């Protein structure tokens, strides 16, 4: 395996970890309007992810940084072609981030409610737009021979990208509700389970529509039929595992199932992209990994640094999550951040 291929896989892995961890953050944020009945319950939901949300977002920053350093042509083409969409994703992330602080410091109940709504809007915007962009990208977009991407409105917003955006958002909500069952006690936890009992059948229907559209509107199954089919089956099986955990009230199964389903979506997209990093409507203009990669010397240095730092970061994350395992009581606010 070449170092360029290795970094393509690592970038996919970083995006997968980001969706696993930040997916439930998004879901908890959305659930403040679907699940909580008053401000105390909304604050309890926000508190459940308070110690972790900013750490989880660093995986997105790391993935973007790794792409910039290892596959700079992919970074340049993607970020220039999807500048407006990525700017809106950033706006959504900023709205979420400032809400954590401003809810605490707002002096009136109206001010607190405004920032709680801001928290909800940001939590909805980011996953929807991010999945919309990813599903647009894999269908092929207008590009020239220099790798300049110039997708038009309907290249970005079309049936597959919208279905992908809705499915990713719904899966994030389901994942968030499964996280709430792990971290919150009392009626909120019971309501999260009941809501997921309703959402999972809708999610299964969405996954079928998503798989059919990917089959007909991408070249994933013509170029990589076996692996694409295998990963699609895994997405369904992990979703079934999550549903089994909901029906049997096994929180660990539910959380692992929904998180792995989200991660497998990224694996499916990167598997379909390989050996390309950007797909052009004219196949001759698609950017290949070998053409997008930085120099061998740079990739070697990056690989050595990553081999040292990634295990340290992984240990830190595990340690930080073990510090906040006590369940939250919405009426007592037993955990603060």
Q: What is the pLDDT of residues 219-232, one digit of tens each?
A: 999 988 999 999 99
Look at residue 60 and tell me whether its pLDDT is greater than 80. Answer: yes
pLDDT tens digits, one per residue of 239-278: 999 999 999 999 999 999 999 999 999 999 999 998 999 9
Which residue reads 């996280």 in tokens? 179
Domain ranges in the chain are: 3-278+288-299
Please provide the size of the chain in residues.
Answer: 337
Give the pTM. Answer: 0.92
Helix (H), strand (E) at residue 288: strand 287-288
> 315 CB contacts (<8 Å, ≥6 apart)?
none
Q: What average pLDDT does the chain have?
A: 90
pLDDT tens digits, one per residue of 299-324: 999 999 999 988 898 898 888 888 87
Of the two residues 14 and 327, the one the predictor is more confident about is 14
Write down the CATH number for the domain with range 3-278+288-299.
1.20.1630
> 266 CB contacts (<8 Å, ≥6 apart)?
12, 15, 16, 19, 134
* Rg value, the chain, Cα: 20
Which two three-digit tokens encode residue 238?
Answer: 């992990």
CA distance linking residue 83 with residue 155, whole number of Å: 14
Q: Are 259 and 23 in contact (CB under 8 A)?
A: yes
CA angle centred on 204, ends 60 and 161, rounded to 5°:
50
Question: Tell me, what DSSP letter sits at residue 219?
Answer: S
- Identify the pLDDT of residue 337: 47
């Amino acid at each position: 395996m070449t170092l360029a291929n290795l970094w393509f896989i690592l970038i996919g892995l970083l995006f997968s970890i980001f969706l696993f961890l930040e997916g439930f953050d998004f879901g908890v944020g959305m659930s403040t309007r679907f699940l909580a009945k008053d401000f105390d319950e909304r604050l309890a939901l926000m508190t459940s992810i308070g110690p972790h949300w900013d750490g989880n977002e660093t995986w997105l920053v790391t993935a973007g940084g790794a792409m910039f350093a290892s596959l700079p042509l992919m970074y340049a083409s993607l970020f220039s072609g999807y500048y407006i969409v990525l700017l809106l994703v950033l706006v959504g992330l900023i709205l979420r981030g400032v809400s954590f602080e401003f809810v605490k410091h707002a002096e009136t109940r109206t001010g607190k409610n405004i920032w709680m709504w801001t928290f909800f809007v940001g939590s909805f915007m980011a996953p929807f737009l991010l999945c919309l962009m990813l599903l647009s990208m894999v269908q092929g977009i207008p590009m020239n021979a220099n790798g300049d991407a110039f997708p038009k409105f309907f290249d970005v917003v079309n049936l597959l990208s919208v279905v992908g955006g809705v499915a990713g958002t719904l899966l994030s909500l389901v994942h968030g509700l499964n996280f709430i069952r792990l971290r919150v006690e009392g009626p909120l936890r019971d309501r999260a389970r009941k809501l997921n009992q309703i959402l999972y059948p809708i999610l299964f229907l969405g996954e079928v529509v998503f798989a059919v559209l990917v089959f007909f509107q991408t070249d994933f199954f013509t170029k990589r039929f076996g692996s694409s089919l295998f990963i699609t089956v895994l997405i369904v099986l992990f979703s079934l595992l999550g549903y089994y955990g909901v029906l049997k009230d096994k929180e660990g199964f539910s959380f692992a199932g929904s998180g792995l389903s989200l991660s497998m979506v990224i694996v499916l997209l990167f598997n379909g992209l390989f050996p390309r990093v950007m797909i052009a409507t004219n196949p001759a203009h698609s950017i290949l990994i070998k053409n997008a990669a930085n120099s061998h010397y740079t990739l070697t240095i990056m690989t050595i640094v990553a081999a040292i730092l990634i295990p340290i970061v992984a240990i830190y994350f595990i340690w930080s999550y073990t510090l906040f395992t006590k369940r939250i009581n919405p009426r007592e606010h037993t955990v603060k951040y």
